[in-house]
């Protein structure tokens, strides 16, 4: 016979994560980060640990910074037979009970008044623990309290306090690629184009939202969004993220004018309007919901088929959270589409890339971009070595057909890093051909100077010069570079 505590069945990796956290705590770590990707069920995992802790007579507190996350945690607890006391603005909770769920700002405001209460909790969960809003509560936590910081992205940068200043261990048993392989997350088809962000200043390390919105408005990027949505993923349910409310309203207005079924949602909307909009979005197949940051965490709608990034961000956690809204699977949905209008994939790597997290703050490294080419027929991005497009069977050996160019730039399918081959593995003839081939931006796929200066053998250099048909030649200079001479 099943009890209330059996109403949620854990997946194998979730059981493994819980076991690893328990072992870490048995080993002396009282403050541990539960690191698990968006969509992996972090709430389910920490809810089980809370329920077990309470059954043993413990006193638990879950702290979150979003009302959606509070509702999510409360729902998970109720499936486990628990009815936590809520601590929110205006509430007068019974602090003698054994299980509470609190909004971080409310708890921070009442921290001095609730100091004994916080110190008396034997287990505390911080949901989205990478956020600095929780730091102000750290001084009130008792030394022996078990603390679990749940997050998909334990990443901090700049002036933010490093997470290893409080937590002593991090548990990560699974990552996004494995969850996709197991069928628990949808795989992504990613499309993107270059956006000029030069001149946009940064405030606290992030792009200034007003300047970013103005740049998108000035370049009429919304025209490209509409054109590419209709071309790549028409009539799909989409969630669009913008840099500020004005930009969201503008994009939504243009979409509606173009006949798309779009609405926008922001923090100024009343609870009734907000709930009504979310109900419409859930039950409308071709709905497009435009927002800013209100739906980056705690919003779980598996039927989302397309994520539109109508903004740029320097924040890796924000990028992963936005895209993660589309990663849930259903019986009929195993893939989703990403339309990146902010160089975000170039900045942060693919959403589904494997990431090994650390509690320490580390400087971000720029990603190397492997040589790729665009299919002129379907606009997919492919390895430079590919001779036949795997998406539309276009033969690159055939004479290039004239491809009509629209008024707006086409988004192109970005390649999976593991499928790319570096140009160094090509023959000289293949390299020469790619130097003469122009990509969608009008520039050569690879630069001849890069090829020439990578050669260390004079005979290879002369062969490449011949293949390129240069009227001016090159010779070795200091055994590393080549010196120009006139060969007539």
The pLDDT tens digits of the residues spanning 41-64 come to: 888 899 899 999 999 999 999 998
Residue with tokens 């959270």: 321
Where is pLDDT greater, at 472 or 273?
273
Cα separation of 190 and 306, whole Å? 10
Neighbours of 27 (CB within 10 A): 10
Q: What are phi and psi of 435, to 5 degrees?
A: -65, -30
Instruction: Output the pLDDT for position 371.
Output: 43
- One fold for 4-174 and 179-348: yes
* DSSP string computed for 352-415: TS-----SS--PPPPPPPPPEEE-TTT-BEEETT-SB-TTT--BTTSPPPP----SSPPPEEPP
pLDDT at 486: 42
**CATH code, residues 4-174:** 3.40.50.300
Check if the beta carbon of residue 53 is closer than 8 Å to that of residue 60. Answer: yes
pLDDT at residue 5, rounded to an integer: 41
Long-range contact list for 417-422, CB < 8 A, 24+ apart?
417/349, 417/350, 417/353, 417/370, 419/383, 420/370, 420/371, 420/372, 420/383, 421/370, 421/383, 421/384, 421/385, 422/370, 422/371
- The radius of gyration of the chain's CA atoms, rounded to the nearest angstrom, is 26
Residues 261, 226: contact at Cβ < 8 Å? no
pLDDT at 271: 84
Over range 294-306, report the average pLDDT. Answer: 83
Per-residue pLDDT at 151 exceeds 80: yes
Window from 223-227, 237-241, 465-469 with minimum mean pLDDT? 465-469
DSSP secondary structure letter of residue 44: H
Higher-scoring residue by pLDDT: 408, 435: 435
At 387 the pLDDT is 80
DSSP 9: P
Q: What is the pLDDT of residue 1?
A: 28
pLDDT in tens, 358-402: 888 765 444 443 444 555 665 555 555 668 866 567 787 765 444
User: Over pLDDT 90: what percentage of the chain?
Assistant: 46
* Mean pLDDT computed over 230-234: 93
pLDDT for residue 429: 75
Please indicate whether residue 431 or residue 172 has the higher confidence score (pLDDT): 172
State the pLDDT at residue 131: 87
CB 97 within 8 A of CB 111: no
Q: Are 24 and 34 in contact (CB under 8 A)?
A: no
Question: What SS3 class is residue 485?
Answer: strand
pLDDT at 269: 87
pLDDT surpassing 90 at residue 208 = yes
**Closest by CA position to 308, among listed 293, 284, 330, 289:** 289
Tell whether pTM > 0.75.
no
Q: Which of 66-70, 129-133, 193-197, 224-228 has the lowest mean pLDDT?
A: 66-70
Residue 126: pLDDT band with limits 50, 70, 90: very high
Name the CATH superfamily, with its identifier, for domain 179-348. Answer: P-loop containing nucleotide triphosphate hydrolases (3.40.50.300)
pLDDT-derived band at 484 (thresholds 50, 70, 90) equals: very low
- What pLDDT, in 10s, does the model give residues 65-103? 876 666 766 667 777 777 788 898 888 999 999 889 998
Average pLDDT estimate for 230-240: 95
Res 132: pLDDT: 87
Domain boundaries, the chain: 4-174, 179-348
H/E stretch holding 239 reads strand 238-242
pLDDT for the residue 120: 97
Name the residue among 335, 314, 113 with its Cα closest to residue 206: 314
% pLDDT > 70, the chain? 77
pLDDT in tens, 454-474: 676 777 777 877 788 775 555
414-449 pLDDT, tens digit per residue, is 654 432 334 455 677 767 776 776 654 566 666 777
């Amino acid at each position: 016979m099943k009890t209330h505590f059996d109403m949620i069945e854990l997946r194998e990796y979730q059981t493994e994560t819980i076991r690893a956290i328990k072992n870490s705590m048995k080993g002396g770590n009282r403050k541990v980060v539960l690191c698990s990707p968006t969509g992996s069920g972090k709430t389910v995992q920490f809810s089980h640990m809370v329920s077990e802790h309470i059954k043993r007579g413990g006193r638990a507190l879950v702290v979150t910074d979003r009302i959606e996350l509070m509702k999510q945690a409360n729902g998970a607890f109720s499936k486990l037979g628990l009815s936590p006391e809520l601590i929110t603005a205006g509430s007068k909770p019974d602090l003698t009970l054994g299980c509470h769920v609190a909004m971080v700002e409310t708890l921070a405001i009442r921290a001095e008044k609730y100091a004994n209460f916080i110190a008396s909790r034997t287990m505390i969960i911080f949901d989205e623990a990478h956020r600095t809003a929780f730091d102000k509560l750290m001084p009130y936590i008792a030394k022996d309290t078990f603390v679990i910081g749940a997050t998909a992205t334990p990443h901090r940068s700049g002036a933010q306090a490093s997470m290893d200043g409080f937590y002593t261990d991090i548990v990560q048993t699974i990552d996004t690629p494995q969850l996709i392989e197991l069928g628990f997350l949808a795989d992504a088809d990613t499309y993107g184009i270059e956006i000029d962000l030069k001149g946009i200043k940064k405030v606290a390390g992030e792009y200034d939202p007003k300047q970013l919105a103005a740049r998108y408005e000035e370049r009429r990027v919304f025209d490209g969004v509409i054109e590419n949505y209709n071309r790549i993923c028409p009539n799909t349910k989409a969630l669009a993220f913008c840099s500020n409310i004005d930009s969201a309203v503008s994009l939504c207005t243009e979409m509606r004018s173009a006949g798309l079924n779009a609405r926008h949602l922001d923090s100024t909307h009343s609870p009734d309007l907000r709930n009504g909009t979310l109900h419409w979005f859930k039950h409308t197949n071709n709905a497009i919901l435009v927002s800013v940051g209100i739906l980056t965490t705690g919003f779980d709608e598996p039927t989302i088929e397309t994520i539109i990034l109508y903004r740029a961000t320097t924040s890796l956690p924000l990028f992963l959270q936005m895209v993660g809204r589309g990663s849930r699977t259903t019986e009929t949905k195993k893939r989703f589409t990403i339309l990146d209008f902010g160089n975000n994939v170039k900045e942060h790597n693919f959403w589904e890339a494997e990431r090994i997290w650390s509690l320490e703050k580390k400087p971000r490294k720029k990603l190397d971009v492997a040589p790729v080419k665009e299919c002129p027929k379907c606009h997919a991005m492919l390895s430079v070595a590919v001779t036949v497009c795997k998406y539309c069977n276009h033969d690159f050996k055939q004479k290039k057909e004239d491809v009509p160019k629209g008024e707006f730039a086409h988004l192109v399918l970005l390649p999976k890093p593991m499928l790319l081959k570096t140009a160094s593995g090509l023959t000289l003839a293949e390299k020469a051909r790619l130097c003469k081939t122009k990509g969608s931006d009008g520039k050569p796929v690879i630069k001849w100077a890069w090829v020439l200066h990578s050669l260390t053998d004079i005979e290879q250099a002369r062969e490449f010069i011949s293949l390129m048909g240069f009227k001016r030649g090159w010779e070795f200079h200091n055994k590393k570079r080549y010196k120009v001479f006139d060969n007539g």
